[in-house]
Structure formats: C-alpha cells, structure tokens
C-alpha cells in the first residue's frame, strides 16, 4: 500500500491522541480509504519525508505528500470525488473554515490547559523535554502552573459548546443528517481530551455528549479504537 499517514505518537504507538491527526483518521475512514499509520514522536517530525513538514498529520498518497488536516480533507475530496464528500459543496468548504476557527479559538486552549500534564506523561523522554520547553515558552508558565489553572477550565467547558448544543436541536450532525469534515474538526478536539486526560466535561445526556457518542460510533467505531484515558 502506498498510502501512509504520519501520526503523532507517545510511548504507546497505538494511542492516537493528536486532534489534528484524529480529523484525518476520520476523513480517511469517511472516504473508505485504506492506509498504514506511521507513528512519530514530536522530535522525529522534522526528519520525516526529507523534511516535508513541521507538523502532523502528513499524508503520503502515492507520489503526493499533503500536510494539514484541512488541506488533506480538501485533497481527498478532489482526488476521490466518487467517494462520500467531506464538505458537501463549495459553501461547505468555506463554512468549515469558520468551524475550524471556532474550534481552535474556543476549545483548543481549554483542552491544552486541562490535559497538558497528561499529554506530557504520554511522551518518551526526548519528546517530554521538547514538549515542556516549547509549551512553557509558548504559554509563559510551567506545565504544572498551566495544569493548575486548567482545573478552572473544566467547569466552564460545557458552556463553550453552546452553539453546537443549540444547533443539535435542528439536526444530528454539523453536516446535517450525516457527518462531514466539520464534525470531525470538533470531534478531534473532544477526542484529544478523551484520549489524554479523559476528564468528564459533559453530562451523559447533554446533546453534545450524545453527538460525540454518535461520532465515536461512525465508520465501524474508528474513534473507539483508542480507549478513554
């Protein structure tokens, strides 16, 4: 098989946790495309495919190399137009950009704060050093102080998802009756939390929790292949 997905890994190579990689795992499953996962640590990324990327996911599909989960989804829809669409047209491509911006600006920093020590502990020694140095530099505090502040994020997390909760009054998925890449964007953020800290942030009967369970059930339960932390 010539299709390879370079995916972030800690010491347990089977525990996928990167939100961006999860978006691509779900995209590939949505399109019904086979691939082999190549697990890489944070500090190994610059060396893969002759320095093709600074971040994962990176997809090799035959001769093509595509990085960035959004660009990979666009590529997959263009390269495999006969398979289920990830965007549902040009409007969907454009609006998924808004949903990506919402997810990143609203959810990602909260998950980072809640799960930062758990993520650290998933990594091998070399990656732990890199992770601590880069995150402490970027966030201007020690991992331990960030995690302590993260406790406050837990209580407010469910409220951040109010737009999704309200939308779920009218349809089952962000994509409508079925999922599209926009669902995988938000799924990626919550799956990141589920597979690292495993913190309970939603009541079990919260419409968002029920949507997340529906996402975990998709594509033969692809999202359940990694258990909750």
CB of 7 or CB of 189, closer to a copy of itself: 189
Q: Is 167 in the site for a copy of itself (CB under 8 A)?
A: yes
Q: Is 164 in the site for a copy of itself (CB under 8 A)?
A: yes
Q: Is 60 in the site for a copy of itself (CB under 8 A)?
A: no
Q: Is 166 in the site for a copy of itself (CB under 8 A)?
A: yes
**Quick one: residue 140, left, alpha or beta (phi over 0 = left, psi -120 to 50 = alpha)?**
left
Tokens representing 42? 């944070």
Tokens representing 133? 């140095």
CB of 173 or CB of 192, closer to a copy of itself: 173
Strand partners, 66: 59
81-110 footprint of a copy of itself as x/- string (CB under 8 A): ----x-xxxxxxxxxxxxxxxx-xxx----
CA distance 174 to 160: 16
Which positions from 177 through 196 interact with a copy of itself, judged by CB under 8 A?
Answer: 180, 182
Rounded to 10 degrees, the C-alpha dihedral 20/23/28/30 comes to: 180
CB of 14 or CB of 162, closer to a copy of itself: 162
Tokens representing 191? 């799956």
Report the candidate in 204, 201, 202, 212 with the shortest Cα–Cα distance to residue 168.
212
Q: Is 158 in the site for a copy of itself (CB under 8 A)?
A: no
Report the candidate in 45, 37, 52, 55 with the shortest Cα–Cα distance to residue 1.
37
Q: Is 150 in the site for a copy of itself (CB under 8 A)?
A: no
Q: Is 170 in the site for a copy of itself (CB under 8 A)?
A: yes
CB of 37 or CB of 55, closer to a copy of itself: 55
CB of 69 or CB of 195, closer to a copy of itself: 69
Query: CB 19 → a copy of itself: shortest distance, Å?
Result: 16
CA distance 208 to 28: 23
The neighbour count for residue 101, using CB atoms within 10 Å, is 11
Query: CB 103 → a copy of itself: shortest distance, Å?
Result: 8
Rounded to 10 degrees, the C-alpha dihedral 22/23/29/33 comes to: -100
Residues near a copy of itself (CB under 8 A): 85, 87-102, 104-106, 162-167, 170-171, 173-176, 180, 182
């Amino acid at each position: 098989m010539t299709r390879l997905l370079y995916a972030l890994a800690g010491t347990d190579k089977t525990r996928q946790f990167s939100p961006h990689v999860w978006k691509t795992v779900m995209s590939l499953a949505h399109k019904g495309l086979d691939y082999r996962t190549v697990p890489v640590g944070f500090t190994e990324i610059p060396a893969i495919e002759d320095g093709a990327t600074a971040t994962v996911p990176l997809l090799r599909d035959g001769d093509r190399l595509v990085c960035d989960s959004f660009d990979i989804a666009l590529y997959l829809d263009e390269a495999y137009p006969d398979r289920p669409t990830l965007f549902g047209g040009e409007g969907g491509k454009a609006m998924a950009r808004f949903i990506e911006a919402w997810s990143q600006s609203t959810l990602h920093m909260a998950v980072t704060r809640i799960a930062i020590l758990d993520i650290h502990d998933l990594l091998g020694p070399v990656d732990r050093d890199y992770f601590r140095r880069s995150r402490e530099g970027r966030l201007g505090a020690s991992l331990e102080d960030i995690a302590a502040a993260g406790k406050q994020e837990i209580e407010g997390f469910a409220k951040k998802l109010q737009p999704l909760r309200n939308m779920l009054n009218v349809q089952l998925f962000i994509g409508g009756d079925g999922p599209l890449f926009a669902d995988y964007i938000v799924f990626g953020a919550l799956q990141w939390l589920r597979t690292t800290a495993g913190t309970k942030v939603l009541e079990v009967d919260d419409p968002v929790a029920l949507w997340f369970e529906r996402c975990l059930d998709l594509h033969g339960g692809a999202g359940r292949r990694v258990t909750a932390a």
